[in-house]
Structure 1
């Protein structure tokens, strides 16, 4: 199972709102993660910076494409978009390369 990291950034003043929203992630979205083989998905916050980590059982690009087309994921992304700062390319998440792993 491959693992991936991402960085994101929350708008100033919305740090607590981000935490609150993630205490009530849509159960349907979590079910889709399970169905697609997305496991051990964690998000860590330092000030306004977020680091996300996930393991993906199948092909990463294909999994992300399927996820992007799921209606409940689109709804969640629209819900989160106002409190997030997009990167230069317009995406809310920036995939970062792994430089070390120890199992």
Structure 2
């Protein structure tokens, strides 16, 4: 199973977003794997500052539980100053509808 989604950066935060992800906390990596996530990539459209995320997950319910972990909420707080967020600091994310897949 896989998911695609989009988020949005604030202007001028491209390098900082990339830096923070290049230094992703080991605890965050562990949480992603423990909640069934793998092969996770994020791409940036520099013209629109739109981020496109792709992740393969084992199970939608297991993956959703990761959002409610302490480390995930800490990550959201850490990222809130450089991207669009909801009142709880979760990123404003829109799931994308899959229209084509090829293995």
What TM-score bracket applies, with the shorter chain setting the length?
0.7 to 0.9
Aligned to 2:57: 56
Aligned to 2:17: 18
Q: What's the Cα RMSD here?
A: 1.6
Select the structure that is richer in helix. 1
- Superposed displacement of residue 91, structure 1: 4.7
- Aligned positions, number: 98
Q: Which runs of 4+ in 1 moved over 3 A?
A: none
- Superposed displacement of residue 30, structure 1: 0.6
Aligned to 2:33: 34
Give the 3 Å change call, closer, same or farther, for CA 27–80 of structure 1 in structure 2: same
Query: TM-score, normalized by length of structure 1?
Result: 0.87
Secondary structure, aligned partner of 2:80: helix
Unaligned runs of 5+ in 2: none
- Give the Cα–Cα distance (whole angstroms) in 1 for the partners of residues 64 and 96 of structure 2: 18
- Give the Cα–Cα distance (whole angstroms) in 1 for the partners of residues 58 and 79 of structure 2: 26
Unaligned runs of 5+ in 1: none
Once the two structures are superposed, residues 34-81 of structure 1 have per-residue CA deviations (whole angstroms, 9 ceiling, x without a partner) of: 1111011100111111100000012x1x22431111100000011111
- Give the Cα–Cα distance (whole angstroms) in 2 for the partners of residues 99 and 3 of structure 1: 12
Query: TM-score, normalized by length of structure 2?
Result: 0.87
